[in-house]
């Protein structure tokens, strides 16, 4: 019956957002405020209420606290500010908090927010790199250290994790997220929220996490940051929303709405998705903040004619706090006076802000986080550095290793290091570096000298990096505010001579850190012309070449991939970048990272995903047939989702199911034996994919539904078990998640393109589920076998 309704809806095109847009929005966001919050609300004037919804910058991202002038402090005294961002430092924050608590009429403490994204002082690998570790435990630990350091500096709110799924590497913010897959994204979102918020938000070492950007921000058309997204309801619910659901379930204290619109409705004013889906259907109780200046930008979207209208729209849409727009503060009073039906919505927003402050323990202990003594002791401790090294090591992905060129033979005596990124410690920090410092970075060249004392090293830049003077340059190889890469005959000749005089070359290429990140969208995601020329010249020497990639997004590098015998993807790895890369190059550790996003063969092949639909004419290698493919490229990605090689060798066998028939509310155990047949200790990431081969609507050819990173001793074998439920293969419909009867194919392997064993089970009847399928975690376990 339900399936029939679904089919009917599909046939008549009736599938739409489950909650209607427009009038009739009711105030119910934060249920049952605490007695303290209720009592405060009763005492607040309209101005004080609006003040709580106002977040202003106390500085700039790279000049923290620079806007904390007398006027700003006066606004705190008058109760006109609920939160600052871009401030830091225990002493400064303590003083700001003191003014709010002791000198404002109601003494309401402030929220202090910052983009603490991959560490505060101890910078870890960028988020995309951490995602490549496929290690939720590690991500929880790195988030915890970030929280410990940031809170010691007085912060109580981080705008992280970014959980946007991104399938278009032209979009520069790919670097900040979990990659292309909603299941991996959901698991990692949960881990990060846990790490930031700890077991209790009131703990002074815990920080309020923000899942952002709700929602569809990664689907920007053409990969252009901030641009519109045009997403089907199905894709929205099955791909983009699950990580937000996971973050909400893990208790994320806040969410940030996205800059973009979906089908013409900006998320800054989207009652159906924010009030309807997030608040009402999911029951989300946290604080919802706009993105930077996004409320005034509703005028640019063309959905509001006046600032007052924009304020009313955002409030109706469910945005509690205005980040840096100064619009609620200047215009919400007029809006509320003109339309008193906004008043209950305003109260709901204030309740959300006050409740967040209460959950953080700010009323009880407003100064607990701003402790100069703790601040002095907490930063970049040896333990934090050790974790940074471990995280960096576990994030590295070995993309290619022809003839086992890696690990480096101890006999390699003369090693040439070529490429300016090799000494660019600044790039190792990535974007969103909070209080990270270039001098904290342990770069590659000294780390290699230390790791291989018997070898001699020579270095050549190969091209000239120069500061780019202007913003918005367009040629590939020029970062927006970063570095222009200039081919230089002398530098190239020096590189070739250096390579010729060596036994082995480490060629370090990729992109300057400032080429990926916010507003760093590019049409060309290959190497710059200067680096391309360098790579070709070095490969032409005929010396064995190990390419070390440093970059924040998948790169289209087909020539390099074809010609270089070994390629190591090292992203931007943070303060322990050099030693971690040396650990992998020398074989002190085997690479265990796997790609959280596929690499296209050409910029024009984006967007792409392994989890595509089959189509009526599935892509075929046979060009004589007309199929869903580009004619000038092979049908496969350059490197597939989940890909990553190891110094170990793994054999998969004996894939078994606990049963072949499963009721919709049942579960099935999927187990497989994995043996490390090599003589080195190594990690394998065992990946579980599913496919529903025949359904009412076409289903993806593969979807990740489980993984486990497993450490193996030489020769060791382990039985890996996954528990899967039919709800995890449910498909979204207007009426909820549908479990449909029939066959489910199961694939287990080392990547989406390296499936080692297949089986199938049958779901015996239709059923329903309440949770986005990709947000349901698959439990897994491992046990040694002889
Ligand atoms: C804009 C970005 O989109 C968002 O991710 C960030 O948190 C804010 N700026 C604050 O810096």
Confidence of residue 479 (pLDDT cuts 50, 70, 90): low
Confidence of residue 786 (pLDDT cuts 50, 70, 90): confident
Q: How many helices and strands, by DSSP H and E, does the chain display?
A: 22, 30
Of 261 and 470, the structure prediction assigns the larger pLDDT to 261
Comparing CA positions, the residue from 143, 344, 396 lying closest to residue 247 is 143
Most informative mutation of 67, 252, 323, 517 for ligand 1 (most atoms within 8 A of CB): 323
Q: Using a 6 Å cutoff on CB, does residue 212 contact ligand 1?
A: yes
What digits encode the pLDDT tens for the residues 31-50? 689 999 999 999 999 999 99
pLDDT at 481: 59
Cα 738 versus chain centre, distance = 28
pLDDT at 410: 75
pLDDT at 62: 80
C-alpha of residue 568 to centroid of ligand 1, in Å = 31
Q: What is d(CA 94, CA 408) in angstroms, rounded to the nearest whole number? A: 51
Residue 291 appears among annotated catalytic residues: yes
pLDDT above 50: residue 383 = yes
Atom 4 in ligand 1: residue holding the nearest Cα: 291
Tell me if residue 403 falls in helix, strand or coil. Answer: helix
The pLDDT > 90 percentage for the chain reads 91
Rounded to the nearest integer, the mean pLDDT of the chain is 94
- Average pLDDT rounded to a whole number, residues 526-538: 97
Atom 1 in ligand 1: residue holding the nearest Cα: 292
Which numbered atom of ligand 1 lies nearest the CA of 324?
A: 10
pLDDT above 90: residue 3 = no
What digits encode the pLDDT tens for the residues 583-619? 999 999 999 999 999 999 999 999 999 999 999 999 9
pLDDT above 90: residue 480 = no
CA distances from 257 to 83, 354, 370 (A): 17, 19, 28
Comparing CA positions, the residue from 430, 397, 426 lying closest to residue 549 is 397
pLDDT at 32: 85
pLDDT at 184: 99
Q: Using a 6 Å cutoff on CB, does residue 297 contact ligand 1?
A: no
- In sign, the C-alpha dihedral spanning 277, 282, 285, 287 is negative
Of 625 and 4, the structure prediction assigns the larger pLDDT to 625
Which numbered atom of ligand 1 lies nearest the CA of 162?
A: 5
Query: Could you say which of 181, 291, 322, 683 is catalytic?
Result: 291
Q: Rounded to the nearest 5°, which phi and psi values hold at 7?
A: -60, -40
Tell me if residue 566 falls in helix, strand or coil. Answer: strand
Q: Rounded to the nearest 5°, which phi and psi values hold at 721?
A: -120, 140
What digits encode the pLDDT tens for the residues 403-421? 999 999 877 789 999 999 9
Which numbered atom of ligand 1 lies nearest the CA of 217?
A: 3
With contact defined as beta carbons under 8 Å apart, do 145 and 597 qualify?
no
Which numbered atom of ligand 1 lies nearest the CA of 159?
A: 7
What digits encode the pLDDT tens for the residues 323-342? 999 999 999 999 999 999 99
Atom 7 in ligand 1: residue holding the nearest Cα: 159
Cα 388 versus chain centre, distance = 18
With contact defined as beta carbons under 8 Å apart, do 582 and 451 qualify?
yes
Q: Using a 6 Å cutoff on CB, does residue 292 contact ligand 1?
A: yes
**Direct distance between the N- and C-terminal alpha carbons of the chain, in angstroms, rounded to an integer:** 50
Q: What is d(CA 56, CA 323) in angstroms, rounded to the nearest whole number? A: 6
pLDDT above 80: residue 568 = yes
Lowest mean pLDDT among 2-6, 371-375, 667-671: 2-6
pLDDT above 60: residue 717 = yes
Q: Using a 6 Å cutoff on CB, does residue 159 contact ligand 1?
A: yes
Cα 323 versus chain centre, distance = 21
Most informative mutation of 111, 175, 291, 520 for ligand 1 (most atoms within 8 A of CB): 291
- Average pLDDT rounded to a whole number, residues 628-632: 96
Q: Using a 6 Å cutoff on CB, does residue 214 contact ligand 1?
A: no
Q: What is d(CA 554, CA 324) in angstroms, rounded to the nearest whole number? A: 32
What digits encode the pLDDT tens for the residues 193-216? 999 999 999 999 999 999 999 999
Beta strands in 427-490 (DSSP E): 456-460, 464-467, 483-486
Strands 254-257 and 210-214, by their bridges, are parallel
Which numbered atom of ligand 1 lies nearest the CA of 176?
A: 5
Paired strand residues for 655: none
C-alpha of residue 240 to centroid of ligand 1, in Å = 19
C-alpha of residue 159 to centroid of ligand 1, in Å = 7
Q: Using a 6 Å cutoff on CB, does residue 176 contact ligand 1?
A: no
Question: What is the value of pTM for the model shown?
Answer: 0.95
C-alpha of residue 164 to centroid of ligand 1, in Å = 13
Query: Which DSSP helix (H) or strand (E) runs through 729?
Result: none
With contact defined as beta carbons under 8 Å apart, do 458 and 416 qualify?
yes
The pLDDT > 70 percentage for the chain reads 94
């Amino acid at each position: 019956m339900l399936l029939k309704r679904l089919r009917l809806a599909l046939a008549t095109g009736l599938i739409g957002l489950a909650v209607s847009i427009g009038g009739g929005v009711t105030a119910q966001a934060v249920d049952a405020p605490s007695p303290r919050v209720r009592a405060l609300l009763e005492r607040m004037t309209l101005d004080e209420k609006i003040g709580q919804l106002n977040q202003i910058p106390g500085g700039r991202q790279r000049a923290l606290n620079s806007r904390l002038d007398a006027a700003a402090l006066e606004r705190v005294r008058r109760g006109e500010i609920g939160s600052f961002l871009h401030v830091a430092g225990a002493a400064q924050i303590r003083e700001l908090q003191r003014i709010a608590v002791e000198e404002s009429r109601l003494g309401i403490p402030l929220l202090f927010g910052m983009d603490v994204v991959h560490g505060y002082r101890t910078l870890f690998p960028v988020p995309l790199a951490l995602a490549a570790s496929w290690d939720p435990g590690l991500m929880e630990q790195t988030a915890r250290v970030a929280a410990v350091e940031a809170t010691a500096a007085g912060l109580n709110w981080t705008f992280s994790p970014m959980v946007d799924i991104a399938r278009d590497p032209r979009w520069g913010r790919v670097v900040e997220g979990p990659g292309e897959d909603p299941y991996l994204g959901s698991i990692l979102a949960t881990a990060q929220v846990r790490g930031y918020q700890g077991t209790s938000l009131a703990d002074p070492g815990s920080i309020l996490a923000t899942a952002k950007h709700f929602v569809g921000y990664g689907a920007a058309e053409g990969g252009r940051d901030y641009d519109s997204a045009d997403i089907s309801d199905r894709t929205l619910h099955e791909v983009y929303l699950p990580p937000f659901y996971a973050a909400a379930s893990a208790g994320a204290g806040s969410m940030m709405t996205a800059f973009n619109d979906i089908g013409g409705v900006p998320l800054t004013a989207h009652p159906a998705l924010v009030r309807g889906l997030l608040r009402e259907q999911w029951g989300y109780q946290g604080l919802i903040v706009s993105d930077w200046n996004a409320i005034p930008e509703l005028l640019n979207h063309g959905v509001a004619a006046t600032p007052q209208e924009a304020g009313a729209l955002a409030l109706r849409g469910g945005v509690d706090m205005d980040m840096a727009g100064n619009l609620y503060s200047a215009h919400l009073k007029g809006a509320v006076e003109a339309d008193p039906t906004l008043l209950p919505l305003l109260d709901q927003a204030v309740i959300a802000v006050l409740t967040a402050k209460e959950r953080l323990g700010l009323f009880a202990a407003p100064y607990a986080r701003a402790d100069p003594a703790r601040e002095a002791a907490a930063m970049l401790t040896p333990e934090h550095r050790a974790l940074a090294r471990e995280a960096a090591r576990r994030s590295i992905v070995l993309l290619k290793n022809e003839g086992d060129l890696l690990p480096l033979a101890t006999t390699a005596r003369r090693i040439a290091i070529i490429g300016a990124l090799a000494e660019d410690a600044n790039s190792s920090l990535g974007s969103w570096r909070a209080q990270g410092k270039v001098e904290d970075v342990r770069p590659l060249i000294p780390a290699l000298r230390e790791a291989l004392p018997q070898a001699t090293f020579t270095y050549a830049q190969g091209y000239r990096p120069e500061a780019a003077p202007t913003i918005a340059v367009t040629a590939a190889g020029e970062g927006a505010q970063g570095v222009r890469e200039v081919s230089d005959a002398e530098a190239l000749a020096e590189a070739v001579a250096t390579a010729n005089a060596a036994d082995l070359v480490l060629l370090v290429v990729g992109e300057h850190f400032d080429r990926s990140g916010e507003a760093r969208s590019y049409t060309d995601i290959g190497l710059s012309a200067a680096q391309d020329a360098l790579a070709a010249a070095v490969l032409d020497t005929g010396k064995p070449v190990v390419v070390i990639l440093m970059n924040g997004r998948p790169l289209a590098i087909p020539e390099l991939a074809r010609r270089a015998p070994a390629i190591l993807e090292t992203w931007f790895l943070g303060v322990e970048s050099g030693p971690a890369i040396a650990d992998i190059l020398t074989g002190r550790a085997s690479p265990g990272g796997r790609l959280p996003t596929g690499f296209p063969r050409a910029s024009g092949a984006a967007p792409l995903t392994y989890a595509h639909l089959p189509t009526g004419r599935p892509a075929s290698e046979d060009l004589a047939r007309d199929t869903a493919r580009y004619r000038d490229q092979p049908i496969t990605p350059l490197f597939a989702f989940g890909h990553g090689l190891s110094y170990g060798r793994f054999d998969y066998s004996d894939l078994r199911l606990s049963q072949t028939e499963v009721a919709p509310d049942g579960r099935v155990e999927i187990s497989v034996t994995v043996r490390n047949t090599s003589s080195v200790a190594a990690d394998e990431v065992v990946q579980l994919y599913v496919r529903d081969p025949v359904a009412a609507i076409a289903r993806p050819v593969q979807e990740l539904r489980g993984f486990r990173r497993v450490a193996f001793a030489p020769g060791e074998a382990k039985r890996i078990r996954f528990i899967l439920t039919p709800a995890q293969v449910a498909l979204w419909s207007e009426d909820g998640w549908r479990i449909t009867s029939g066959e489910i194919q199961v694939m287990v392997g080392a990547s989406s393109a390296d499936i080692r064993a297949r089986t199938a089970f049958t779901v015996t009847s239709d059923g329903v589920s309440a949770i986005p399928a990709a947000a349901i975690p698959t439990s897994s376990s491992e046990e040694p076998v002889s």
